[in-house]
A and B are shown apart, each in its own frame.
Chain A
Amino acid sequence: MDAVLLARIQFALTIGFHYIFPPLTIGLGWMLFVYHTLYRKTQSPVYRQLAHFWTKMFAINFVVGVATGITMEFQFGTNWAAYSRFVGDIFGAPLAAEGVFAFFLESSFLGILVYGEKKVSKTVYWISSLMVALGATLSAFWIVVANSWQQTPAGYEVVDGRAVLTNFAEAVFNPSTVVRYLHVVAAALVVGTFFILGVSAWMVLKKKHGDFAKQSLKSAFIPCMVAIVIVMGVGHPHAIQVAETQPAKLAAFEGLWETQTNAPALLFGIPNAEEERTDFALEIPGGLSMLIDGTTTREVQGLKDFAPEDRPPLGITFFSFHSMVYLGVWFFLIAFGGFVLLKMGKLYENRLYLMAATLTVPLPFFANELGWIAAEVGRQPWVVYNELRTSNAISASVPPGQVLASIIMFTLIYALLFGVWWFLLKRQFNKGPESIESIKGEVE
């Protein structure tokens, strides 16, 4: 098989699998901090139940995130040696900074959060929950910095066939860093909050763990609403940034072929790369120009402006982007609809809603993956936008057979990890929280 394709399959497999876990770590991390804070303020045992119950999920999830993350740190060198030589002057620094500023923080305080409650004061314990959430969130920053530099490289010049740093701040805060970071963190909050929402809805639906399940469900709505509003709110400036810095990607997102003013926003369609048109298009005339610039006179570049070899793969980019947007709308409905039901006092009996919320549990994971796929596949054929093609970036010295072997190894071990991860989470869902009595006993 083709060496480039194999390297790409392995990268997609390992990053795609890894990316299931960190968003849940970030989202749940902040929810844990909320629960610990509420417990500290109110001393109400239910918040302690919530904090402990979700800390168990957090710990199970965290370790799989760590285990699969080690692969990523190695993989640029193992599979993408030419890429590593080209970008090393810039790309390595954020990875190292992630270790120094985020991982140490996160891993040290997680130890206290999970194993050390009896060994530290209440204040230190509470601060630990903040530090864990902060560590996870900082870690995302440095990864988004590194990835954003691939999308919109800045603060460098190419000397003797490699990128050389000319301005550290410009490289870190390249044109897409901030908006992408906010979008990613907000999306992680969506994963974490909807995870609590959906799992709690399931517990209520199955009449498990009584009042605890209801409290847990109730606690999720406001965070869910905040998260989904932020993610959508940031999605808009993100789209503007893509339009300005990566026009080929935007054109692929929207299935836009002709460069035009008054460009339409596509609600639905099926792009047809062979005939260079979009079939079954359902459009809002002028919508895309309006979204980007606030006026219909804004010109938007179409795919035909780019040579065929410089266009991203159309189908994947288009459908992953659109599916992500549709899912976002669904999350909005679930969060706000549920909140209305709660306020009307009809939430806990509404089986239809509880079922829908339960089935929503996996969807934010999909939305996150789809967002990354849209971002990464939409950047193709470039690994560093307009500088280095993916096909020129792999490790020439690694025989394709060895890559195939490692793909098989990762597939097997990741399938095992996924199975165990879900099995252990489900066990905890079934087991439920510690009893109120045991908490009271401990406090006294």
Chain B
Amino acid sequence: MLALQIIWFLLVGILIIGYAILDGFDLGVGFWHLFAKKKGERSAFIESIEPFWDGNEVWLLTGGGALFAAFPPVYATVFSGFYLALMLVLLGLILRAVAIEFRNKVDSPGWTKAWDYAFAFGSILPSILFGVAIGNVLRGLELNEIGDYTGGFFALLNPFSLLCGLVGLAMFAMHGALYLSMKLEGEIAADARRWASRAWMVFVVLFMVATIWGALGFFYNITAVPLVLALFAVLASVSSFVFNRAGRAVAAFVSSCETIVFTMLAVAAALFPYMVPCTNNPDWSLTINNSSSSQLTLTSMLVIALIGMPIVLAYTVFIHRVFKGKVEVREE
């Protein structure tokens, strides 16, 4: 029965989408962090994400765990294949985590500045590398019979995947700027709105180029579905741009969330039923069918997900309600 595999393909997808939406905004805030001129503004940036970033990152951990549990060969192939890239992701995530918490612990300009750079660097690097990873999975990888990647590190830095890396960066930058425009007030909120518009322009151009390039060159599932989803992503981003221009910050942010959802769904649809296409021998590709865990494991995990995920959503909503409202920029 393939139904469980399809469910888990979707559930892993939902976790990755949840991560992209939630950590996406705080990664995006990291991108703009150094653009803020005043010290008080930077503190407000941090304050706007402080209670959330950790919970946001848990989506990545849970997504990784779910991928491991539901599709172990995919986890093994992708994580070992992208070894150096993932080590750099880890470096970034470690640095930004401690930077967020440590930057205001010591009252010294040098101390704060050093952690501000660490936060920006640690946000930008993963934003790019997640896109590069997705680009490579879309292209397919050179594998051997047991599924080990054989292509070497530099083959991962191909033009299409690097383009996808920039799409990711632009998407999170747009998302983060819209988040800031929603959470802040006054001059800096106006700055954030301008940043969001600029990031949108970059995103929408790069995204369309990447979609057409991918559809002509790489997608394994060349039906209308991924292209329609990609079109929805573009439309959602346009509405986010329009709302942003109209000063409707919440609506713009919600549209930006939709942009991320459709983008990720387009990726999933372009791959399905493949998870890691193999370029040198299609028979060695990892699919949801040949790479899944046993039915018993998928069922047990489904029970865990059905009990756990509603609770998780409840926490997420609860914490955002507790910390709702604007963050004040104070003179420092």
B-binding residues in A (CB < 8 A) = 59-60, 63-64, 66-71, 73-74, 76-79, 81-82, 84-85, 87-93, 95-101, 103-105, 107-112, 114-116, 119-120, 164-166, 168, 395-398, 402-403, 405-406, 409, 413, 417, 420, 424, 427
13 additional A-B pairs beyond A63-B98, A85-B72, A97-B65, beta carbons within 8 Å, are A66-B54, A73-B61, A82-B76, A85-B147, A88-B72, A89-B294, A92-B70, A96-B62, A96-B66, A107-B58, A115-B50, A116-B322, A395-B148
- Interface segment among B175-183, B215-223, B295-303: the answer is B295-303
Kindly provide the distance from the CB of A297 to the nearest chain B CB, expressed in whole angstroms: 42
Q: Which residues of B contact A427 (CB under 8 A)?
A: 105-106
* C-alpha gap A98/B318 in the complex (Å): 20
**Contact call B98/A112, Cβ cutoff below 8 A:** no
B81 touches A397 (CB 8 A): yes
> Across the two chains, which residue of chain A brings its CB closest to B150?
A397
Closest chain B CB from A107 CB (angstroms)? 4
Contact present for A81 and B80 (CB under 8 Å) = yes
Q: What number of B residues sit within 8 Å (CB to CB) of A?
A: 67
Q: Which of B52-100 contact A (CB under 8 A)?
A: 52, 54-55, 57-58, 60-62, 64-73, 75-81, 83-84, 86-87, 90-91, 93-95, 97-98, 100
Q: Quick check: is B256 within 8 A (CB to CB) of the other chain? A: no
Contact indicator B94/A70 (Cβ below 8 Å): yes
Q: In the complex where A63-B98, A108-B315, A164-B294 touch, is A88 in contact with B75 (Cβ < 8 A)?
A: yes
Tell me if B79 and A74 are in contact (CB < 8 A): yes
| Most A C-beta atoms less than 10 A away, residue of B57, B70, B72, B309 | B72
B213: chain A residues at CB < 8 Å are none
The main secondary structure of chain A at its interface with chain B is helix
The 8 Å CB contact of A120, one of B67, B98, B322, is: B322
CA distance A67 to B90 in the complex (A): 9
How many Å from the CB of B23 to the closest CB on chain A? 11
Q: Which residues of B contact A (CB under 8 A)?
A: 50-52, 54-55, 57-58, 60-62, 64-73, 75-81, 83-84, 86-87, 90-91, 93-95, 97-98, 100-102, 105-106, 146-150, 153, 293-294, 296-297, 300-301, 304-305, 308-309, 311-312, 315-316, 318-319, 322-323
Contact check, B105 vs A81: say whether CB atoms are below 8 A apart.
no
B294 contacts A119, CB within 8 Å? no
CB of A413 within 8 A of CB of B95, answer yes
Closest CB in chain A relative to B272 CB, distance in Å = 21
Bound-state Cα–Cα, A414 to B61, Å: 20
Q: Does the CB pair A100–B80 fall under 8 Å? A: no
User: Does the CB pair A77–B153 fall under 8 Å?
Assistant: no
Residues of A within 8 A of B318 (CB): 108
Task: Assess the B78–A77 pair: CB atoms within 8 A.
Answer: yes
A100 touches B75 (CB 8 A): no
Verify B65–A92 contact, CB threshold 8 A.
Answer: yes
Which of B86, B94, B105, B309 is close to A68, meaning CB atoms less than 8 Å apart? B94
Q: Which 6 A-B pairs have the closest CB atoms?
A: A88-B72, A77-B79, A92-B69, A99-B62, A92-B68, A96-B65
25 CB-based A-B contacts, threshold 8 Å: A67-B94, A69-B61, A70-B94, A74-B90, A76-B79, A78-B83, A79-B80, A81-B148, A85-B147, A92-B69, A95-B64, A96-B66, A96-B304, A97-B304, A103-B62, A104-B58, A104-B316, A108-B315, A111-B51, A111-B323, A112-B51, A395-B80, A397-B80, A406-B83, A420-B102
- In the complex, what's the smallest C-beta–C-beta distance from B125 to chain A, in angstroms? 13
Bound CA span A398–B149, Å: 9
Closest-CB distance, B137 to chain A (whole angstroms): 14
Chain B residue with the shortest CB-CB distance to A82? B76
Across-interface contacts of A64 in B (CB, < 8 A): 98
Partner of A101, one of B66, B71, B93, B308: B308
Are B55 and A70 closer than 8 Å at their CB atoms? no
Asked, given contacts A89-B297, A100-B304, A165-B294, whether A119 binds B78 with beta carbons under 8 Å apart, the answer is: no
Task: Tell me how far the C-beta of A103 lies from the nearest C-beta in chain B, rounded to whole angstroms.
Answer: 4
CB proximity of B201 to chain A, nearest CB, Å: 33
A84–B319 CB distance below 8 A: no
B16 to chain A, nearest CB (A): 13
Q: With A104-B58, A405-B84, A424-B102 as given contacts, are A116 and B51 in contact (CB-CB < 8 Å)?
A: yes
Instruction: Closest B residue to A417 by CB, please name it.
Output: B98
Once the chains are docked, how many angstroms separate the CA of A103 from the CA of B84?
Answer: 26
Contact, CB under 8 Å: B91 / A73: no
Q: Are A73 and B78 in contact (CB under 8 A)?
A: no
Q: Are A74 and B86 in contact (CB under 8 A)?
A: yes
User: Using Cβ atoms and an 8 Å threshold, which residues of chain A touch B301?
Assistant: 93, 96
**Chain A hits for B52, CB < 8 A:** 111
Most buried by B among A82, A85, A92, A120: A92
Q: Which residues of B contact A67 (CB under 8 A)?
A: 93-94, 97-98
A59 touches B300 (CB 8 A): no
